[in-house]
Amino acid sequence: MKRRGVIAQQFESLRSWAILLAVALPWYLIEYDRRGDAFLAGFFMRHNVERFLSPLQGHGGGPLYYLPAVLALLLPYTGLFLRSLPGLRSLRHPRAAPLDTFLWCWFLFVFAFFSLAGTKLPHYLLYGATPLFILMAEIMQ
């Protein structure tokens, strides 16, 4: 029998969904109660969907926008990041460390997602900085 991954198990876990809803749902309900349909139109449509589909407030950029942004974001640890890049090749190895695989996938998802988005701001990469710092800490050991 093939073993399912930890992430796949969490997506199927009712307990995980209950925790997610217990943390997030109250805020969404309170905001909807206070602002009604304006909350849905503003938060979901304007600040999520529209920002992804087209640049808002002149914050556009090309597909390579985040390459220099990630190097600047990681200062003064950019050198450690560059030293960690060969770790990407090891992900193709069947015995790649599961944590490293998860951390690289986390960062690469954030990097690719925001690279595809119409609105580009440097701080969007902060969502992917945590796994990079963990990867860089592994190099220092």
Residues in contact with 60: Cβ distance below 8 Å, sequence separation at least 6, in sequence order: 118, 119, 120
Tell me: the pLDDT tens digits for 75-105?
A: 999 999 999 898 888 777 777 788 888 899 9
* Spatial contact of 138 and 81, defined as CB atoms under 8 Å apart: no
pLDDT band at 47 (very low <50, low <70, confident <90, very high): confident
* Spatial contact of 59 and 119, defined as CB atoms under 8 Å apart: yes
pTM: 0.75
Gyration radius (Cα) of the chain, Å:
19
Q: Which string of b and e fits 20-50 if b means at least 16 CB within 10 Å?
A: eeeeeeeeeeeeeeeeeeeeeeeeeeeeeee
